[in-house]
Amino acid sequence: MQERLKQKAIQLLENGTVDRILGWKTGEFFYDLTPAVFTTREQIEKDFVFNVFSGANLSKYLIAESRKGGKIAAFIKPCDSYSFQQLLKEHRIWRDNVFVVGVQCDGMCDAAKLGDGVLSVKEDGENLIVETLYGEKTVAKADALADRCASCKSKKIVIFDELIGEQGEETENDRFGEVARLEAMTPEERYEFWRGELSRCIRCNACRNVCPACSCEKCVFDNANSGVRNKAAADSFEENMFHIIRAFHVTGRCTDCGECSRVCPQNIPLHLLNRKMIKDINELYGEYQAGADMDTKPPLTNYTVDDCEPSIVHERGGL
Amino acid sequence: MKKIAISQLNTLFAAIAARKTLYIPADDGAGSAKFTVWQEGVTLTDKLNTVRSAKDLFFPQVENLVNFKVEGTKIDIVENRDAAEPFVVFGVRACDCASFDILDRVFLSDPVDTFYQTRRENGVVITLACSRPAETCFCGVFGIDAANPAGDITCWMDGESLYWRANTKKGEQLTAALDLADCDGSAVTAQQEATREILKKLPLNSLDLSDFKDQKLLDVFNSPKWAQLSESCLGCGTCTFVCPTCQCYDVQDFDNGREVRRFRCWDSCMYSDFTMMAHGTNRPTQKERFRQRFMHKLVYFPNNNEGIFGCVGCGRCLQKCPIHMNIVKVAKALKEELK
């Protein structure tokens, strides 16, 4: 697959379709890839990588890249394509300046699942041959699969100019299973669960900054003039509140790409907050998948006479 | 050299905790480790290192500086700094211990930061030698020996025993109060030799930073490479917050109209409002912010501190950066420029 992507990148550059390529750049090891813009054949041949660690969603970079003039080609995986289309829907990406190469994906791996001292990784069919400081071992890709990919919602590339690999379909998945487990808890248990998870937050803002739905040019929390900028928490609930508010803020726009949980240095399962909102929307307003198309109106910004009344909170057991 | 059986570790921790608050690296329940106040039931992690560094115990993320209380035309100044209780931190790795030398240069030079100074004086540092480093470790680049860390007390651990060596007066005082058996150093020497064999194999330990020591400040600063290196930086503060040597902070006020609580909190050069001044910001894009972090560690700090780099090679930024950009990649890219 990597070779096909490289050839495509070189072709698009050399036939003048685009003048830049957005992809993933090689690192010190096999797993530490960095999103990067390539402008020459030499750079692509030397540094372009597509492997099981190309997990980073490139869509958000296109907000800035599409405004730089010229045209950029971006390699977009199925779940990234939902983010890309959602950003288009929000008029955040200048579509004319982007050439989307859809890339099919078999699921990305999580380097943390490979164990200690990983020096290099070779893909070998369904396995990864892992060379470590402490010897070589074979790890099944399935065992190293990133959690978000284990409950992949779709192999469908919802928007593209050209496709590499087969088009896929929405998949059967259990992505709301964990949410249902939390819903089954008593309010006290749930409160304890989230207090425990969110208490680890160091407020690095990685979740916010990587999130394609968090695309404000200046976040209110970074703005000294907003009166609510807070580099330090006033009390131990403030970080908790930040994440809850952020989940509300992206509701209806979050495509469930899972980048928030991927980048969290403290392994907080932030995606569960977003999935709860998605699950509620599905139950209250009918099935809705952000980014799936350009036409449907997001339930929370679209009034219909059938919308549930505020009393639904009471009916569902809330106070 | 002293030792105690691993099976007695809990007894040892209890004995220390009976005298002073004891922090040990323990599992955080989410696959990582963090420095945790020891109490019955808290056990030592088998993780190599904590996500948050030992710096946090000396330079916490947030701390109170002073309160101002306003009544009519009267303003009372109320001291409200945290009670600085004596503590012991066990299990500090060689890299984190070396970071204290760097922080000391900042906070203990004139004007002395008394908040930090008090914690340094009150803290006893017990280091734990590494025997199973990660591929992201490169403390050797900075002359740090992971098999022989500094600290008030140095420990080594094998399957059966914890070996213990007091290095300072503080360390000797604590040692005298504990029930430890005498032993020779042969087991430690054997472990050190084995560890050093692994350290030799670490791919990043051979990084050569000597080019940055010369006065090439402007060459580095003006390098066209910064644009490319920083282009996918998210501008989050992960690297700075997990870094044991990052030391920048902001001072802010909570003001409720009657009382002002002045506090300081970590700041990050990666943030858009970092060192915001009256005229605005001098680092308008992520390129300048990103450059600042690495210039500080690789150029400014050594230029002002006898060639000592502002990095200890703990590898946390390599592991935690969401886009895997880090000081090793930056240094390697810039080195090409300096040739």
Instruction: Tell me how far apart the alpha carbons of residues A23 and B331 are, in angstroms, rounded to a whole number.
Output: 22
Instruction: Tell me how far apart the alpha carbons of residues A93 and A59 are, in angstroms, rounded to a whole number.
Output: 9
Q: Find chain A residues with C-beta within 8 A of B267's C-beta.
A: 231
Neighbour order of strands in the sheet with B62-71: B74-79, B62-71, B259-266, B249-255
**Beta bridge pairs of residue A128:** A123, A139
- Disruptive mutation site among B281, B289, B324, B325 for chain A (greatest number of A CBs within 10 Å): B324
CA distance B162 to chain A (A): 23
Q: Is A146 an 8 Å CB contact of chain B?
A: no
Q: Find chain B residues with C-beta within 8 A of A206's C-beta.
A: 234, 236-238, 322
A34-A37-A43 Cα angle (round to 5): 90
Q: Is A27 an 8 Å CB contact of chain B?
A: yes
Q: Is A117 an 8 Å CB contact of chain B?
A: yes
Residue A145 pLDDT exceeds 90:
yes
Over residues B104-121, the pLDDT tens digits come to: 999 999 999 999 999 999
Average pLDDT for chain B: 94
CA distance B246 to chain A (A): 14
- Disruptive mutation site among B232, B251, B276, B318 for chain A (greatest number of A CBs within 10 Å): B232
- Dihedral over alpha carbons B21, B112, A204, A214 (to 10 degrees): 150
Q: Find chain B residues with C-beta within 8 A of A262's C-beta.
A: 322
pLDDT score recorded for residue B255 = 83
Helix (H, G, I), strand (E, B) or coil at A224: helix
Q: Find chain A residues with C-beta within 8 A of B275's C-beta.
A: none
Torsions phi, psi for B187 (to 5 deg): -65, -40
Count of CB pairs separated by less than 8 Å, A with B: 118
Q: pLDDT grade, residue B212 (50/70/90)?
A: confident
Instruction: Tell me how far apart the alpha carbons of residues A44 and A38 are, in angstroms, rounded to a whole number.
Output: 6
- B204–A28 CB contact, under 8 Å: yes
Instruction: Name the residue in chain B with its Cα closest to that of A260.
Output: B322
pLDDT score recorded for residue B215 = 66
Q: Which residues have CB under 8 Å from A100's CB, separation 6+?
A: A73, A74, A76, A81, A84, A159, A160, A161, A162
- A263–B238 CB contact, under 8 Å: yes
Average pLDDT over residues B178-200: 96
Over residues A74-133, the pLDDT tens digits come to: 999 999 999 999 999 999 999 999 999 999 999 999 999 999 899 999 999 999 999 999
- B242–A267 CB contact, under 8 Å: no
Residue A319 pLDDT exceeds 70:
no
Instruction: Name the residue in chain B with its Cα closest to that of A36.
Output: B232
Q: pLDDT grade, residue A229 (50/70/90)?
A: confident
The single residue listed with the structure tokens 């002045």 is B262
Pull the structure tokens for residue A131.
Answer: 């060379």
For residue B136, give the nearest of B149, B128, B146 by alpha carbon: B146
pLDDT score recorded for residue B138 = 98
- Contact criterion met (CB below 8 Å) for B334 and B144: no
- A265–B250 CB contact, under 8 Å: no
Whole-structure pTM value: 0.94
CA distance A276 to chain B (A): 20
Q: pLDDT grade, residue A222 (50/70/90)?
A: confident
Pull the structure tokens for residue B209.
Answer: 């930073």
DSSP character for B46? -
Instruction: Tell me how far apart the alpha carbons of residues A260 and A273 are, in angstroms, rounded to a whole number.
Output: 10
- Which CA distances in Å does B286 have to B157, B227, B265, B282? 43, 9, 21, 11
What percentage of chain A exceeds 90 in pLDDT? Answer: 87
Q: Is A63 an 8 Å CB contact of chain B?
A: no
Q: pLDDT grade, residue A231 (50/70/90)?
A: confident
Helix (H, G, I), strand (E, B) or coil at B79: strand
Which element (helix H / strand E) includes B36?
strand B33-37
**Per-residue burial over A26-47, b = 16 or more CB atoms within 10 Å of its CB, e = otherwise:** ebbbbbbbbbbbbeeeebbeeb
The CA R_g of chain B, rounded to the nearest whole Å, is: 22
pLDDT score recorded for residue A281 = 95
- Give rounded-to-5 percent helix, strand, coil for chain A: 40, 15, 45
For residue A80, give the nearest of A169, A163, A135, A158 by alpha carbon: A158
- A28–B198 CB contact, under 8 Å: no
Q: pLDDT grade, residue B82 (50/70/90)?
A: confident
Domain extents in chain A = 2-108+154-164, 111-144, 177-315
Q: Which among B62, B203, B324 has the least Cβ separation from residue A34?
A: B324
Pull the structure tokens for residue A202.
Answer: 């160091």
Residue A224 pLDDT exceeds 90:
no
Q: Which among A56, A112, A196 has the least Cβ separation from residue B323?
A: A56
- Disruptive mutation site among B48, B62, B135, B274 for chain A (greatest number of A CBs within 10 Å): B135
- A196–B238 CB contact, under 8 Å: no
Q: Is A189 an 8 Å CB contact of chain B?
A: no
Q: Which among B232, B236, B329 has the least Cβ separation from residue A204?
A: B236
pLDDT score recorded for residue B230 = 97
Instruction: Tell me how far apart the alpha carbons of residues B255 and B70 are, in angstroms, rounded to a whole number.
Output: 11
- B32–A117 CB contact, under 8 Å: no
Which range is least confidently modeled, A95-109, A227-241, A290-304?
Answer: A227-241
Furthest C-alpha separation in chain B: 71
pLDDT score recorded for residue A225 = 82
Q: Which residues have CB under 8 Å from A194's CB, separation 6+?
A: A240
Q: Which among B29, B228, B234 has the least Cβ separation from residue A209?
A: B234
Q: pLDDT grade, residue B221 (50/70/90)?
A: very high
Furthest C-alpha separation in chain A: 64
Q: Which residues have CB under 8 Å from B150's CB, separation 6+?
A: B94, B97, B98, B127, B167
- Disruptive mutation site among A25, A72, A133 for chain B (greatest number of B CBs within 10 Å): A133
ipTM of this complex prediction, to 2 decimal places: 0.94
Q: For residue B313, give the amino acid letter.
A: G
- A205–B237 CB contact, under 8 Å: yes
Pull the structure tokens for residue B219.
Answer: 């060459």
Instruction: Tell me how far apart the alpha carbons of residues A118 and B134 are, in angstroms, rounded to a whole number.
Output: 8
- A28–B318 CB contact, under 8 Å: yes
Over residues B265-299, the pLDDT tens digits come to: 999 999 988 887 777 778 999 999 999 999 999 99
What single string gives the DSSP state of each residue in A135-181?
A: EEEEEEHHHHB-HHHHT--B----S-SEEES----B----TTHHHHH
Q: Is A32 an 8 Å CB contact of chain B?
A: yes
Which element (helix H / strand E) includes B209?
none
pLDDT score recorded for residue A316 = 86
Torsions phi, psi for B52 (to 5 deg): -90, 140
Q: pLDDT grade, residue A221 (50/70/90)?
A: confident
pLDDT score recorded for residue A112 = 92
- Contact criterion met (CB below 8 Å) for B135 and A29: yes
Instruction: Tell me how far apart the alpha carbons of residues A166 and A213 are, in angstroms, rounded to a whole number.
Output: 27
What single string gives the DSSP state of each residue in B212-231?
A: GGSS-HHHHHT-THHHHHHT
Helix (H, G, I), strand (E, B) or coil at A121: strand
Peptide bond before A269: cis, by omega within 30 degrees of 0? no
Instruction: Name the residue in chain A with its Cα closest to that of B46.
Output: A116
CA distance B284 to chain A (A): 13
Average pLDDT over residues B244-264: 90
Torsions phi, psi for A48 (to 5 deg): -70, 130
Average pLDDT over residues B35-58: 97
Instruction: Tell me how far apart the alpha carbons of residues A175 and A188 are, in angstroms, rounded to a whole number.
Output: 24
Which range is least confidently modeled, A265-274, B72-81, B181-190, B317-326?
Answer: B72-81
Q: pLDDT grade, residue A234 (50/70/90)?
A: low
